[in-house]
DNA sequence: CACCAGGGCGCG
DNA sequence: AAAGCGCGCCCTGGTG
């Protein structure tokens, strides 16, 4: 029963203890548990569904997450007793299941009745299910946006239970509650943006003058939702903020733009940005710089607020919307709804407001991050930002624009070949199983293999269905032809859909495909690659199969060669440096192959008999043990990949052997564990930090995971930073008519080199990457030699080793 | 038609 | 005692 006397009346009035509108009534102890609190109330908090405790004591938010919610409410100056607290679902779902959309729909009348009685001005929604109130889903996307529901203003945030599980959400949750509290008290957020629409020559001149005279200026583009190189690509408006709180918005190709020559206006703004002494700031500068360059304004921003945010805390969300609320304390705002037609069909006044906010907030964030980066204790981070990340971002801007050349003839013929082979496999499968099925469907396949053909179920998926993953089918292949054919089908169909079909579709008129590299896409500092945003299509060049049939479609156009420069065994070399293991260091000084040694041990072959594929698998074993793999997983690994049954004792001995060979690895692991336990973070040789708040978790498994990450991150991060440093140095050295960088895959750099200068550039690239100026740039040195393999050919993956 | 989670698998 | 790390895309099938 509700504690609040006013809610009691409500409880009697709208509650139906015999409700059978959805299946949830079957599992709930208390059916139709309505909310609790004052009626009416100024604000409501709406959660997902009653939990175990709530069901028992008949009170919403009674468990652990409820306590946490109360705590944070208190901290932001609100009190639970002023709030009416309820849930979108009124019955407790069976253990650990969120209510379905159908169930929520059935429950809606009760919630609506509550809202009508409580008459809240503000509603805080907590958790994804609660978003159902406003017919949305995707809480991490919509949190911190404001919505209306009837007369009430609605603010969604993450669920307190999510915060308790994942500390990364803590900042988000507190920010949103602080905002909510401000809204409840009717206080405005930080200074709003004063927007000036630039629509006449005098205003344009004033804007340019402000760009030229300000110490720092932020810019932000609104564009058509296309790739910048597409035919109908247009810059719609430019937002300029020369001073916090102020932004000029210049319409360019917006239909309401009144300029006679919009391109000339863009040039005027662009030239001011190019020639100003001011620091040019942007959020995700690579995007805006690329667009400007496409329209003949080659600018490279000096300061990217997104990169700064990521470098200072790799775990937080990097969107401008989030950072502005978290750091600047501005009021929440919803992304501009561009509708079907993109920025072009959005009213100029509306578009300008958003554009202005973005530019203004970017500038304000710049002043904040500049302060943070130059404060005591952040010297190494500042150096990384200035000497490594911003130059790398500049190089990537060009690399993304260049794209990778595709051999169209190979692409077309190989695609047809795949079609033919797929048809053959399909025919044979139909013959063997006696039916037509969708071979891509794990569900249909499981039915055929395990119900109809009665094969052994070796493994279950996370959800308890019989797994049809590769390792399982491989085991079944020994006795049946069908699983073997399925594996072939999967490989062929993945090659076709993920790679060849996509490449053909995304091929530009210059026979190139393009990707987007994210400098802020991973927690370790590696690049991620793929599409620009969720709705776009795009390719990931980091997962192109090594299979020559696929990889060999990418290459260099006639008159040029394709060069791949690869850091050899870079992560092991870095681990050798960190651990100072004498055996590892000696092996690298003698230039011996550690992966080959492991492959020899596992296959019991002579070194020269080891297949490249076997060496590649040994590589995974070395990395596995190096980064904390246990002997149990090793048994699975050996079975799935080598078809070798290893006993528990053998597996343990194999692992012991590894650590007996490299005696100092254990001490290094221990040091990393100690560091992360003491400081909740670790850092790489050149100062890139990985924050690991999970080390404070109550859950031992989670803590152990953080410890393994503490071992892995400084290795993976440094390897990647060496690549980024190479990228920026090489990019500055290369004249585009001789050589151009076209891509990078973690520890390798892909370059197109003109035929007649291949020798010169092979040599220069190798030398540059093997002799990076670590001492001069970061004041540190590596105690192991760095080795780079350069391969040159006409196509990717088909090159000959240089030198 | 849009969105989402899960399964599966490509890469380093 | 037990423990690899880091990513992104395609497809299916459920749901609204």
Nucleotide nearest A442, from its CA to each C1': B7
> Mean pLDDT, to the nearest integer, of A618-638?
86
Rounded CA-CA distance A606/A586 in Å is 22
pLDDT value, residue A60: 67
Least confident range from A70-84, A288-302, A724-738: namely A70-84
**CA-to-C1' distance for A138 and B4, Å?**
9
The angle at the Cα of A787, spanning A681 to A727, to the nearest 5 degrees, equals 65
> Mean pLDDT, to the nearest integer, of A425-441?
90
Tell me which protein residue sits closest to nucleotide B3, measuring alpha carbon to C1'.
A137
pLDDT averaged over every residue in chain A = 90
Q: How confident is the model at residue A95 (pLDDT cuts 50, 70, 90)?
A: low
**CA-to-C1' distance for A745 and C7, Å?**
11
Q: Residue A501 corresponds to which tokens in the numbers above?
A: 């079909």
**CA-to-C1' distance for A500 and C11, Å?**
16
pLDDT value, residue A707: 95
**CA-to-C1' distance for A632 and C7, Å?**
24
Tell me which protein residue sits closest to nucleotide C9, measuring alpha carbon to C1'.
A498
**CA-to-C1' distance for A165 and B12, Å?**
29
Q: How confident is the model at residue A241 (pLDDT cuts 50, 70, 90)?
A: very high
pLDDT in tens, A568-620: 999 999 999 999 999 999 999 998 888 888 888 877 889 888 887 778 778 87
pLDDT value, residue A728: 97
Q: A3 versus A385: which is more confidently predicted?
A: A385
Tell me which protein residue sits closest to nucleotide B5, measuring alpha carbon to C1'.
A463
pLDDT value, residue A286: 96
Q: Is the pLDDT of residue A217 over 90?
A: yes
Q: How confident is the model at residue A338 (pLDDT cuts 50, 70, 90)?
A: low
Nucleotide nearest A648, from its CA to each C1': C2
> Mean pLDDT, to the nearest integer, of A500-514?
91
Rounded CA-CA distance A366/A101 in Å is 42
Nucleotide nearest A545, from its CA to each C1': B10
pLDDT in tens, A357-376: 999 999 999 999 999 999 99
pLDDT value, residue A191: 87
Nucleotide nearest A493, from its CA to each C1': C10
Using a pLDDT cut of 90, give the percent of chain A over it: 58
Look at residue A727 and give its three-state secondary structure.
Answer: helix
**CA-to-C1' distance for A440 and C11, Å?**
7
pTM listed for this prediction? 0.90
Least confident range from A12-16, A313-317, A525-529, A704-708: namely A12-16
pLDDT value, residue A403: 94
The neighbouring-strand residues paired with A560 are: A754
Question: Helices in A512-569 by DSSP H: which ranges?
Answer: 548-551
pLDDT value, residue A29: 75
Q: A16 versus A525: which is more confidently predicted?
A: A525
**CA-to-C1' distance for A513 and C11, Å?**
23
**CA-to-C1' distance for A158 and C13, Å?**
27
pLDDT value, residue A259: 96
Q: How confident is the model at residue A275 (pLDDT cuts 50, 70, 90)?
A: very high
pLDDT value, residue A618: 80
Burial of A203 (0-12, 13-18, 19+ CB in 10 A): middle
**CA-to-C1' distance for A591 and B3, Å?**
52
Nucleotide nearest A440, from its CA to each C1': C11
Alpha carbon A217 to its chain's center: 28
Ranked by mean pLDDT, the top range of A56-70, A453-467, A545-559 is A545-559
Nucleotide nearest A620, from its CA to each C1': C4
The neighbouring-strand residues paired with A748 are: A566
Rounded CA-CA distance A170/A160 in Å is 9
pLDDT value, residue A22: 77
Whether A70 and A109 have beta carbons less than 8 Å apart is answered as no
**CA-to-C1' distance for A546 and B10, Å?**
9
Q: Output phi, psi for A683, to 5 deg.
A: -140, 160
Whether A736 and A772 have beta carbons less than 8 Å apart is answered as no
Rounded CA-CA distance A70/A37 in Å is 13
Say which residues have a Cβ less than 8 Å from residue A261's Cβ, sequence separation at least 6.
none
Whether A784 and A588 have beta carbons less than 8 Å apart is answered as yes
Q: Residue A56 corresponds to which tokens in the numbers above?
A: 């028992």
Nucleotide nearest A530, from its CA to each C1': C8
pLDDT in tens, A346-357: 899 999 999 999
Which residues make up the interface with nucleic strand B when CB must lie under 7 A? Answer: A 128, 137-138, 141, 442, 461-463, 465, 467-470, 473, 487, 490-491, 494, 535, 540, 542-547, 716, 745-748
pLDDT value, residue A317: 84
Chain C nucleotides close to protein (CB under 7 A) are 1-13, 15-16
Least confident range from A278-292, A540-554, A562-576, A626-640: namely A626-640
Q: Is the pLDDT of residue A767 over 80?
A: yes
Nucleotide nearest A701, from its CA to each C1': C3
Q: Is the pLDDT of residue A58 over 90?
A: no
Residue A376: count of CB within 10 angstroms of its CB: 5
Q: Is the pLDDT of residue A7 over 90?
A: no
Chain B nucleotides close to protein (CB under 7 A) are 3-12
**CA-to-C1' distance for A340 and B1, Å?**
14
Burial of A709 (0-12, 13-18, 19+ CB in 10 A): buried
pLDDT in tens, A27-40: 777 788 888 899 89
Tell me which protein residue sits closest to nucleotide C16, measuring alpha carbon to C1'.
A101
Nucleotide nearest A637, from its CA to each C1': C4
The neighbouring-strand residues paired with A752 are: A562, A740
Ranked by mean pLDDT, the top range of A153-167, A574-588, A634-648 is A574-588
Q: A536 versus A117: which is more confidently predicted?
A: A117
Tell me which protein residue sits closest to nucleotide B11, measuring alpha carbon to C1'.
A543
Residue A701: count of CB within 10 angstroms of its CB: 9
**CA-to-C1' distance for A607 and C9, Å?**
37
pLDDT in tens, A679-707: 999 999 999 999 998 898 888 888 999 99
Nucleotide nearest A632, from its CA to each C1': C2
Least confident range from A93-107, A130-144, A520-534: namely A93-107
- For A324, which DSSP code? I
Tell me which protein residue sits closest to nucleotide C10, measuring alpha carbon to C1'.
A498
Nucleotide nearest A712, from its CA to each C1': C5
Q: Residue A741 corresponds to which tokens in the numbers above?
A: 């960088």
- Whole-Å CA distances, A63 to A55, A447, A724: 10, 41, 48
Q: Is the pLDDT of residue A218 over 70?
A: yes
**CA-to-C1' distance for A261 and C6, Å?**
48
**CA-to-C1' distance for A77 and B5, Å?**
37
Least confident range from A331-345, A406-420, A717-731: namely A331-345
Tell me which protein residue sits closest to nucleotide C2, measuring alpha carbon to C1'.
A630
Q: Is the pLDDT of residue A55 over 70?
A: no
pLDDT value, residue A316: 86
Nucleotide nearest A497, from its CA to each C1': C10
**CA-to-C1' distance for A449 and C6, Å?**
34
Omega before A594 within 30 of 0, i.e. cis: no
**CA-to-C1' distance for A643 and C6, Å?**
26
Rounded CA-CA distance A669/A711 in Å is 6
pLDDT value, residue A358: 96
């Amino acid at each position: 029963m509700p504690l609040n006397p006013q809610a009691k009346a409500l409880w009697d009035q709208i509650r139906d203890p015999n409700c059978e509108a959805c299946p949830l009534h079957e599992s709930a102890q208390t059916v139709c548990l309505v909310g609790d609190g004052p009626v009416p109330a100024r604000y409501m908090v709406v959660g997902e569904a009653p939990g175990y405790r709530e069901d028992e004591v008949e009170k919403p938010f009674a468990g652990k997450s409820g306590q946490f919610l109360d705590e944070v409410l208190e901290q932001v100056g609100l009190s639970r007793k002023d709030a009416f607290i309820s849930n979108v679902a009124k019955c407790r779902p069976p253990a650990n299941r969120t209510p379905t959309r159908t169930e929520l729909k059935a429950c809606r009348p009760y919630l609506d009745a509550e809202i009508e009685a409580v008459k809240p001005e503000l509603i805080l929604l907590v958790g994804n299910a609660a978003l159902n109130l406003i017919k949305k889903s995707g809480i991490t996307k919509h949190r911190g946006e404001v919505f209306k529901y009837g007369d009430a203003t609605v603010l969604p945030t993450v669920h307190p239970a999510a915060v308790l599980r994942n500390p990364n959400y803590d900042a988000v949750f507190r920010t949103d509650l602080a905002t909510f509290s401000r809204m409840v008290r009717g206080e405005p957020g930080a200074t709003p943006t004063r927007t000036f629409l630039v629509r006449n020559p005098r205003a344009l001149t004033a804007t340019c003058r402000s760009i030229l005279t300000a110490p720092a200026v932020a810019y932000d583009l609104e564009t058509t939702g296309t790739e910048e190189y597409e035919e109908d690509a247009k810059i719609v408006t430019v937002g300029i903020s020369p001073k916090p709180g102020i932004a000029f918005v210049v319409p360019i190709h917006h239909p309401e733009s009144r300029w006679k020559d919009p391109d000339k206006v863009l040039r005027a703004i662009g030239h001011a940005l190019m020639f100003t002494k001011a620091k040019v700031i942007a959020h995700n500068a690579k995007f805006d710089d690329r667009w400007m360059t496409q329209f003949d304004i080659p600018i490279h921003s000096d300061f990217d607020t997104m990169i700064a945010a990521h470098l200072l805390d790799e775990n937080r969300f990097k969107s401008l919307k989030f950072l502005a609320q978290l750091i600047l304390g501005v009021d929440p705002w919803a992304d501009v709804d561009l509708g079907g037609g993109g920025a072009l069909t959005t009213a100029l006044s509306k578009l300008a407001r958003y554009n202005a906010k973005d530019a203004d907030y970017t500038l304000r964030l710049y002043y904040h991050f500049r302060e943070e980066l130059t404060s005591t204790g952040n010297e190494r981070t500042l150096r990384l930002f200035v000497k490594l990340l911003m130059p790398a971002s500049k190089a990537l801007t060009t690399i993304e624009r260049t794209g990778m050349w595709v051999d169209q003839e190979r692409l077309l013929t190989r695609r047809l070949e795949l079609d033919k082979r797929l048809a053959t496999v399909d025919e044979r499968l139909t013959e063997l199983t006696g039916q037509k099925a969708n071979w891509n469907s794990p569900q249909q396949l499981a039915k055929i293999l395990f119900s109809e053909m009665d094969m052994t179920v070796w493994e279950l998926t996370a959800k308890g269905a019989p797994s049809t993953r590769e390792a399982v089918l491989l085991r079944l292949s020994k006795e049946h032809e069908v699983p073997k054919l399925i594996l072939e089908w999967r490989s062929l169909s993945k090659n076709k859909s993920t790679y060849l079909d996509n490449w053909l579709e995304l091929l530009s008129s210059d026979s190139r495909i393009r990707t987007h590299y994210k400098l802020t896409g991973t927690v370790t500092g590696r690049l991620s690659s793929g599409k620009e945003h969720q709705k776009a299509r795009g390719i990931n060049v980091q997962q192109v199969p090594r299979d020559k049939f696929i990889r060999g479609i990418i290459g260099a156009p006639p008159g040029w060669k394709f060069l791949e420069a690869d850091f050899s065994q870079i992560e092991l070399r870095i681990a050798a440096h960190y651990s100072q293991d004498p055996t590892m260091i000696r092996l690298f000084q003698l230039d011996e192959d550690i992966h080959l040694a492991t492959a020899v041990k596992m296959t019991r072959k002579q070194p020269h008999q080891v297949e490249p594929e076997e060496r590649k698998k040994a590589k995974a074993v070395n990395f596995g043990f190096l980064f904390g793999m246990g002997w149990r997983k090793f048994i699975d690994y050996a079975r799935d990949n080598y078809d070798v049954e290893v006993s528990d004792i053998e597996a343990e001995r194999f692992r012991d052997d590894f650590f007996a060979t490299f005696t100092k690895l254990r001490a290094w692991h221990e040091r990393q564990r100690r560091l992360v336990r003491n400081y909740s973070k670790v850092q790489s040789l050149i100062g890139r930090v990985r924050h690991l708040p999970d080390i404070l978790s109550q859950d031992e498994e989670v803590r152990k995971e953080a410890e393994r990450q503490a071992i892995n991150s400084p290795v993976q991060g440094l390897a990647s930073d060496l690549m980024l440093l190479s990228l920026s140095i090489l990019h500055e050295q290369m004249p585009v008519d001789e050589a151009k960088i076209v891509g990078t895959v973690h520890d390798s750099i892909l370059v197109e080199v003109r035929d007649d200068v291949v020798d010169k550039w092979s040599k220069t690239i190798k030398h540059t990457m093997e002799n990076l100026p670590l001492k001069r740039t970061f004041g540190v040195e590596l105690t192991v030699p760095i080795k780079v393999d350069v391969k040159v050919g006409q196509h990717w993956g088909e090159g000959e080793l240089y030198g």
